[in-house]
Structures are given as C-alpha cells and as structure tokens.
Amino acid sequence: MAVRDMLVTTIAVKYTQSNAVCLAHDGQVIGIGVGQQSRIHCTRIASAKADAWYLRQHPSVLALSFRKGLKRSYKDNAIDQHLMDDLTVAEERVWKSAFQETPKRLSRTEKTSWLRGLEDVVLSSDGHLPFRDNVDRARRSGVQYVVQPGGSIADDQVKQACDEYGMAMVLSGVRLFHH
C-alpha cells in the first residue's frame, strides 16, 4: 500500500503547480498544497486538508442529520463549518439552518484524539525538503512515508527527523517542479 501511495503522490505533484506537497492514504490524494513561496507552507496546507478529510469521517460527522432537501454542496459546506472553531455570527446562522436539529460540535480534544488515528499517510514533494519542520508538521497528520528528491544541504537533518519518528524516506533524486 505504501508503494502505491508513493506513486499516487508523486504523480500528483508532477502535474501540479510548482512547490507542491501531496499527501495520500489508501490510494487517494487526501491533501495537496501548491504554489506557496516556501515548502513548509505547502506542507501545512496539504496537512490541514488531510486532517479535514479525516475529521469528515468522524462518527458524529457521518451521523449529521441534515434538513430534508438540502443540496449536496450545502451539506459539504455545513460539514466544513461543523469542524471549524471560528465561525462568524452570520456563518453560524447559515450552518445551523442546514440541520433538522443543531448538532453538538466536536471539541478540540475530540478532534485531536480522532486525528491520532490517521496513520500510514505518504507525503511526496516535487522539490527537496529544506528543513525538518516539514517532517515535524507532516507527522502530526499521520505521515509515515516521505518521497522527495533530496539534495538539500539539510538532508541529514531531514533524515534525522524521519528517523526520530520512525518514518521511511525515499530519496528519488528527481526534481519535479517546473522552474
């Protein structure tokens, strides 16, 4: 499974805008961050998207009772808002209107606990990981495998970070970004 996910993520970053980081799990892309000025920002975006993907699978989210006749796009937005902690008064009103009965939100502790179950995620980067902060952030989103070209002066520090977390890292030797 890890090899398949390494291929999925690497193909995804090859065909996206430069400065791309992609996360995959079980054969599907679950988060991608692209076009940022630094690799860590791409990693943060991809990881946040992966976290949101996994939180959407929480039993309480799957059990949400939507108002009859609500279109799928409104349901998707209501789920995203259900997982947010900082809705405006207007957003809160719209969110509540999507349900037959206003659901209880997940607490930060419940979210953190649930996210600990996200494991065996693969990260691929179209360019080298310049600092260990990418590995540190990715691990919080269940990353266990990393694919990157290597070639950074900090490769040893990135490798050490992977070793500390028990993560496997593959150095492909191939830069896939477009500039």
What pLDDT is attached to residue 146? 98
Sequence-distant (6+) residues with CB within 8 A of 97 are 67
Ramachandran bin of 173, using left for φ above 0, alpha for ψ from -120 to 50, beta for the remaining angles: left
> CB–CB of 150/127 below 8 Å?
no
Q: For the packed helices 72-83 and 39-55, what is the interaxial angle rounded to 10 degrees?
A: 110
- List, as one string, the DSSP characters of 87-107: --HHHHHHHHTTBSSPPPPPP
Taking 90 as the threshold, does the pLDDT of residue 178 lie above it? no
How much of the chain exceeds pLDDT 90, in percent?
A: 93
pLDDT category of residue 177 using cuts at 50, 70 and 90:
confident
Q: What are the residues whose beta carbons fall under 8 Å from the beta carbon of 80, sequence distance 6 or more?
A: 52
Q: Give the Cα separation of 25 and 132 in Å (integer).
A: 22
What pLDDT, in 10s, does the model give residues 28-77?
999 999 999 999 999 999 999 999 999 999 999 999 999 999 999 999 99
* Ranges 3-7, 115-119, 150-154: which has the least confidence: 150-154
Beta-bridge partner residues of 33: 21
pLDDT band at 18 (very low <50, low <70, confident <90, very high): confident
Phi, psi of 29 (to 5 degrees): -70, 130
How many Cβ atoms are within 10 Å of 37's Cβ, its own excluded? 8
- What's the pTM value of the predicted model, to 2 decimals? 0.94
Task: Check residue 67 and report its DSSP letter.
Answer: P
Work out the pLDDT band at 93, boundaries 50, 70, 90: very high
Domains and CATH numbers, the chain: 2-52+115-171 (3.40.140.20), 59-105 (1.10.287)
